[in-house]
Structure 1
Amino acid sequence: MGKGEDEWARYWQHEQLPGIDLLRARYVRHSFPRHSHEGYVFGAVSGGVEDVVLPDRTVHAAPGSLVMINPEVPHSAHAGVPEGWAYHTLYPAAEVVAEIAAETSALRGTVGFAEVDVTDPQGARMIREVHRAAEEGNALAADSVLRILVARLLSRYGGSLPARTPRSAGCRDAVRARDVLETRMAAPPSLEELAAELGTSPFALLRAFKREYGMPPHSWLTNARVRRARTLLDIGTAPADAAAAVGFTDQPHLNRHFTRIVGVPPGAYQRERGESTEHARREQPRERGGAPEPRYAAAPRRAARKNVQDRAEPFTVRS
């Protein structure tokens, strides 16, 4: 995997695999800021090294290793070597994993994984097999391998996560602050206003929120806005309208944060979600002006660069 190769990424969902998102990418300059997912993350690096920064440690994921991240665990990621990393990732919804756990294991409650990075070449290979089957239009194989993979991971590494209940006043304030930000996402209060509304001080709220959610309120809000924008894009909302609805100042503002967190810009994300329902799209690339449409979009550079453009062809970064 040479340093001169372009970055690229494809984030999509197969129409017959609801509840499973797929990302296949190669990143060099791109880095993911601290964020979390509503569902699980199962990733397999096929080249280079990915550094995954967790609340308590940094994982160096190399080929042959398998990364498992539980829902709502804050983390960031960047290249661990100059040549970057290439990987296949599955994002199964919590309901999908819970269904498999109920059918194949004795685990009860919310299931999760105590180990984040394990050496498991067979598991990593199975992740790639799910991708390959899905891209070939073989939903039966993709769904079958996915379920065998998740059952295998639960058997080897799974357990029941302890229930989390607010205990201290600070913890309760953090939960209340999250509810306020989620409800008033498009026009959130300032930290001082939020603290006054909850009857606490700005610094006390800042410390409590970061302790509870692994990131300060403004970072959590950006992540929540991107999540809600994804939901809007999934139902066909135009990116500019989605940006306004969730509180971003304009579409470039959405583009910047969406690309950093999801790994592809909103336009590329929405096109793949819509096109995944077209059987012809899976059988052969569409042609535009006599040339095949690229299957993958080039990935973004670091956020310090200028805006990433949403286009049907591979997107570039203007410096």
Structure 2
Amino acid sequence: MGEFRRSTVLPHLEVRGSCRRNTCYRPHFHDTFSVGLIDRGSSVFTGSPAGAIRLHPGDVVVIPAGHVHACNPDDGPWRYRMAHMGQEWAVSLVSRGAANRLLSGIGVLRRDDLHQRMAAAMQTVFADAEPARIEAEFGAALAELGAAAPEHLVPSGTDSALRLRLRPVMDRLRGDEANPPLDELAQLVGMTRYGLVRAMRRATGLTPLAWRQNARIVRARYLLRTGVPIADTAQELGFTDQSHFHRVFRAHVAVSPGAYRG
């Protein structure tokens, strides 16, 4: 069960509220800056080299764009809210120092006041408030998040030089309708197929196939938000049929394309 609300005046801002009982997310990344609020129940965050992090009601999770993660319920119902926003917009609302801290990695903050502050900002989207009020609320909330010391911090660990070397592979994965053979991808960057898989994991946190699937779902979310029909979205992204598209989309977003499109 989930509800999405998008700002009618700030198209780069989307909020969702959801309740889950079963594992619903595979490891994934967003192209947005995201903030999650744990409202009820226990859940487990994965994506940290140090191991899983247990999340509790009142926790706030800050996730910069491109960071691979997954969060799933531990036992019983789990209720949470997420705000996804353009990363450039988010950092424009705060000081440079706060922006650097917010982008330093995935942070878990364990303070009820921060949870309440971000919840109030999210509510302005559900209420379809005026742009100035939305920006003021999000700016104040993000500034407080940027000033707080996280209980847990998962550094980005991004190898920028390796990502630059792998750019031809990622461009091919993003652009091809069919899944390119690993041998062809490896030849683009002078690696063996096994070396490429290891390099992609180190640079992005995902295998080439998993990265391609995630990139397609990021694009699918954009197309659906802008009103493109589900069938046309699936076709444009090279899915063999709509049922396949539904399965992959649900594994990444935990709702069907129809529910997401609204």
Q: What TM-score range do you get, normalising by the shorter chain?
A: 0.7 to 0.9
State the AA in 1 paired with 2:70: S
Relative distance call for 1:208 and 1:125 in structure 2 (3 A) is: same
Answer yes or no: is 1:251 the counterpart of 2:246.
no
SS of equivalent to 1:166? helix
Which of these residues, 196, 217, 225, is aligned with residue 216 of structure 2?
A: 225
Which of these residues, 159, 183, 193, is aligned with residue 175 of structure 2?
A: 183
Deviations 1:251-304 (A, max 9, x none): 111111112212221112112xxxxxxxxxxxxxxxxxxxxxxxxxxxxxxxxx
Answer yes or no: is 1:198 the counterpart of 2:189.
yes
Relative distance call for 1:124 and 1:202 in structure 2 (3 A) is: same
Deviation at 1:17, TM superposition (A): 3.1
> Quick one: distance in 2 between partners of 1:253 and 1:108?
38
Answer yes or no: is 1:150 the counterpart of 2:142.
yes
Match in the other structure for 1:174: 166
Match in the other structure for 2:41: 48
Match in the other structure for 1:308: none
SS of equivalent to 1:17? coil
Answer yes or no: is 1:18 the counterpart of 2:11.
yes
State the AA in 2 paired with 1:80: D
TM-score (norm 1): 0.73
Q: Is the 8 A contact 2:30 2:66 kept in 1?
A: yes
Deviation at 1:18, TM superposition (A): 3.0
Deviation at 1:162, TM superposition (A): 9.0
How high is the sequence identity, in percent, across the aligned residues? 23
Higher mean displacement: 12-21 or 86-95: 12-21
Q: Give the 5 Å matches for 1:102-141.
A: 104-106=95-97, 112-114=103-105, 116-139=107-130, 141=133
Q: Give the 5 Å matches for 1:208-219.
A: 208-219=199-210
Which of these residues, 37, 56, 59, is aligned with residue 30 of structure 2?
A: 37
Q: Is the 8 A contact 1:110 1:161 kept in 2?
A: no
Question: Unaligned 5+ residue runs, structure 1?
Answer: 1-7, 272-319
Relative distance call for 1:259 and 1:161 in structure 2 (3 A) is: closer
Relative distance call for 1:109 and 1:126 in structure 2 (3 A) is: closer
Q: Is the 8 A contact 1:49 1:61 kept in 2?
A: yes
Deviation at 1:106, TM superposition (A): 4.1
SS of equivalent to 1:91? strand
Q: Give the 5 Å matches for 1:56-95.
A: 56=49, 57-81=51-75, 83-95=76-88
Match in the other structure for 2:160: 165
Q: Is the 8 A contact 1:232 1:242 kept in 2?
A: yes
Deviation at 1:108, TM superposition (A): 7.0
Question: Unaligned 5+ residue runs, structure 2?
Answer: none
Match in the other structure for 1:302: none
**Greater helix fraction, Structure 1 or Structure 2:** 2
> Quick one: distance in 1 between partners of 2:3 and 2:82?
11
Deviation at 1:16, TM superposition (A): 2.3
Match in the other structure for 2:259: 268
Relative distance call for 1:27 and 1:107 in structure 2 (3 A) is: closer
State the AA in 2 paired with 1:199: G
Deviations 1:145-166 (A, max 9, x none): 2111011112225999898531
Relative distance call for 1:195 and 1:162 in structure 2 (3 A) is: closer
> Quick one: distance in 2 between partners of 1:75 and 1:161?
11
> Quick one: distance in 1 between partners of 2:191 and 2:96?
44
Deviations 1:92-127 (A, max 9, x none): 2111122113xx344677951446212111111122
